[in-house]
Amino acid sequence: MRAKKVMVIGGGLAGSEAAHQIASRGTEVILFEMRPQALTPAHKTGVLAELVCSNSLKSDDPLTASGLLKRELEMLGSLVLKAARKTAIPGGSALTVDRRLFSQEVTRSLKQNQRVRVLTEEVKKLPSQRPLVIATGPLTSEALSEELQMLLGDESLYFYDAIAPIVSYESIDLEHAFWASRYGKGGDDYLNCPLSKEEYEIFYQALVEADPLPLHSFEEPSFFEGCQPIEELARKGKKTLLYGPMKPVGLVDPRTGRRPYAVVQLRKENAEGTMLNMVGFQTRLKYPDQKRVFSLIPALRRAEFLRYGSMHRNTYINSPRHLMPTLQWRRDPEVLFAGQITGVEGYLESCAAGLVAGLNAWRITKEMPPVYPPATTMIGALLRYITMASAANFQPMNANLGILPPLPVEASGEDRKRLLTERALNHLRSWKDKVFSN
Ligand X SMILES: Cc1cc2nc3c(=O)[nH]c(=O)nc-3n(C[C@H](O)[C@H](O)[C@H](O)COP(=O)(O)OP(=O)(O)OC[C@H]3O[C@@H](n4cnc5c(N)ncnc54)[C@H](O)[C@@H]3O)c2cc1C
Enumerate binding residues for ligand X (CB under 6 A): 9-15, 32-35, 40, 42-43, 52-54, 122-123, 135-141, 144, 216, 313, 339-341, 346-347, 350
C-beta of 7: minimal distance to ligand X in Å? Answer: 11
> 94: how many CB neighbours lie within 10 A of its CB?
18
Where do the DSSP E strands lie in 164-243? 166-168, 178-179, 190-195
C-beta of 205: minimal distance to ligand X in Å? Answer: 30
For residues 154-173, one letter each, b for 16 or more C-beta atoms within 10 angstroms of the residue's C-beta and e for the rest, the string is eebbbeebbbbbbbbbebbe
3-state secondary structure of 310: strand
Cβ proximity to ligand X, 340 vs 421, nearer residue: 340
**Does the CA dihedral 327-328-334-337 come out positive or negative?**
negative
Cβ proximity to ligand X, 54 vs 256, nearer residue: 54
Cβ proximity to ligand X, 89 vs 202, nearer residue: 89
Exposure of 184 in the CB half-sphere (CA atoms within 13 A): 2
Tell me the backbone φ, ψ of residue 25, rounded to 5 degrees.
-100, 5
Cβ proximity to ligand X, 107 vs 350, nearer residue: 350
Cβ proximity to ligand X, 12 vs 325, nearer residue: 12
Write the single-letter amino acid at 17: E
Cβ proximity to ligand X, 122 vs 201, nearer residue: 122
Cβ proximity to ligand X, 49 vs 381, nearer residue: 49
Distance CA 174, CA 112 (A): 57
Where do the DSSP E strands lie in 19-98? 28-33, 56-59, 88-89, 94-97
For residue 313, give the DSSP letter.
E
- What lies within 8 Å, CB to CB, of 50 at 6+ separation is 12, 35, 43, 44, 99, 103
Residue 108: its H or E element: helix 99-112
Which residue of this chain has its Cβ atom nearest to ligand X in the complex? 12
C-beta of 279: minimal distance to ligand X in Å? Answer: 24
C-beta of 156: minimal distance to ligand X in Å? Answer: 17
C-beta of 32: minimal distance to ligand X in Å? Answer: 5
DSSP string, 121-160: ----S--S-SSEEE---TT--HHHHHHHHHHH-GGGEEEE
For residue 326, give the DSSP letter.
T
Cβ proximity to ligand X, 145 vs 171, nearer residue: 145
Cβ proximity to ligand X, 40 vs 318, nearer residue: 40
C-beta of 218: minimal distance to ligand X in Å? Answer: 8
C-beta of 51: minimal distance to ligand X in Å? Answer: 7
CA distances from 274 to 55, 337, 420, 422 (A): 31, 28, 14, 19
Cβ proximity to ligand X, 263 vs 357, nearer residue: 357
Residue 432: its H or E element: helix 413-435
C-beta of 203: minimal distance to ligand X in Å? Answer: 28
Tell me the backbone φ, ψ of residue 139, rounded to 5 degrees.
-120, 40
C-beta of 22: minimal distance to ligand X in Å? Answer: 15
CA distances from 429 to 76, 84, 310 (A): 9, 22, 34
